[in-house]
Amino acid sequence: MIPPGSTIGILGGGQLGRMIALAAAPLGYRCHIFCPDDEAPAADVAATWTRAPYDNLAALDAFAAAIDVATVEFENVPAAALERIAAAKPMRPGANVLAVTQDRLAEKALATRLGIATAPYFAVSSAIEAGITARHLTGGAILKTRRMGYDGKGQIAIAAATPDAVVEAWRKLGEVPCILEGFVDFALEISVIIARGPDGQIAAFEPFENRHAHHILAESRWPAAIGPEIVTRAEAVARSLAQALDHVGVMAVEMFVTAGGEVLMNEIAPRVHNSGHLTIEAAATSQFAQHVRAICGLPLGSTERRADAVMRNLVGDAVLEWPKLLLDAGSHLHLYGKSEIRQGRKMGHVTRLFPLGAMT
């Protein structure tokens, strides 16, 4: 157990780290941010900031010496940095979890091993493989880089997966190791956010329903428009993945639900997740407070829904709506303090609450 009064080290300086640090404060923890960026929304609300690249071993060692437990707020922290810190202090989640979730193929292979359904997928690491795998699919497909993809970056949709089209997409993505996925004609997208403590205790939030625009999450709704049977199956998928990975902390699993009621795993985020931001106002315990509890070995909080809610991301210029949003008593505005508005950049979010049961 890492008791209140201790210092949590967070690798990554974005808005997720900012909201973890804000949730850590009322539980009596201090946060120390480690990230190389010029601007760090998390560092603005944390006690300490080490601004250094993830391969600076001296800076990593000094960081590890100054904290009591370490966590991540984005999944692409280099494995070597995680291992360096893990040699000195508890690293939650562990490097093994990130090794799987940094690689879309390893992630899907884990799901398959656990009997969890996914879109049909094939490894593509050469032009020949790109051509051959295309023959296994009829209709549309998506080619994704195995590593470093997010918010639609590193992926190309292919309307008809002919060998020529897949080879061309593979060349466009830079001829790096990829995964070719069959296109899923889903009815809706959901995510399950689950927390797991070092002792294996687990608590899951009911699924969130997510809508994307231009590959970026636009809106999440709680509860999702799905029946209890799908809720149970979706939670079972998240539980099984968290246990198999021996994950510690909050983890999100994105899934597709088909018109026939099938639940397919899309991807795992081994961290707090954009679709759970509405838990700050709508749940008994926010996903951020839950993450702090999980990594510090405290009892997990109640995941009960206290209100129905809709969260909308303020992406790019949409953040300029803030004066209007402040006038709406039902809206809870969160701005991330980023100085420059850029297209596609998450600048903030707004959560609207509704009476419990109003959205079902």
Q: Taking the complex as a whole, how short is the minimal distance between the CB of residue 31 and ligand AMP, in angstroms?
A: 28
Tell me whether residue 136 or residue 215 sits nearer to ligand AMP (CB atom).
215
Q: Taking the complex as a whole, how short is the minimal distance between the CB of residue 159 and ligand AMP, in angstroms?
A: 12
Q: Taking the complex as a whole, how short is the minimal distance between the CB of residue 104 and ligand AMP, in angstroms?
A: 7
**DSSP structure class, residue 8:** E
Tell me whether residue 161 or residue 248 sits nearer to ligand AMP (CB atom).
161
Cα–Cα distance measured from residue 33 to residue 117, given in angstroms and rounded to the nearest whole number: 37
Tell me whether residue 67 or residue 238 sits nearer to ligand AMP (CB atom).
238
Tell me whether residue 90 or residue 149 sits nearer to ligand AMP (CB atom).
149
Q: Taking the complex as a whole, how short is the minimal distance between the CB of residue 212 and ligand AMP, in angstroms?
A: 5
Structure tokens given for 105: 């193929």
Max CA separation in the chain (angstroms): 59
Tell me whether residue 267 or residue 308 sits nearer to ligand AMP (CB atom).
267
Alpha helices in 135-227 (DSSP H): 163-172
Q: Which long-range contacts (CB under 8 A, 24 or more apart) does 103-111 make?
A: 103/146, 103/147, 104/144, 104/145, 104/146, 104/147, 104/149, 104/179, 104/267, 105/146, 105/177, 105/179, 107/267, 107/268, 108/179, 108/265, 110/241, 110/244, 110/245, 111/241, 111/265
Residues in contact with ligand AMP by CB under 6 A are 119, 142, 149, 152, 181, 183-184, 189, 212, 215, 254, 266-267
Q: Taking the complex as a whole, how short is the minimal distance between the CB of residue 348 and ligand AMP, in angstroms?
A: 21
Tell me whether residue 135 or residue 212 sits nearer to ligand AMP (CB atom).
212
Strands laid side by side in the 30-35 sheet: 48-51, 30-35, 7-11, 69-72
Q: Taking the complex as a whole, how short is the minimal distance between the CB of residue 186 and ligand AMP, in angstroms?
A: 6
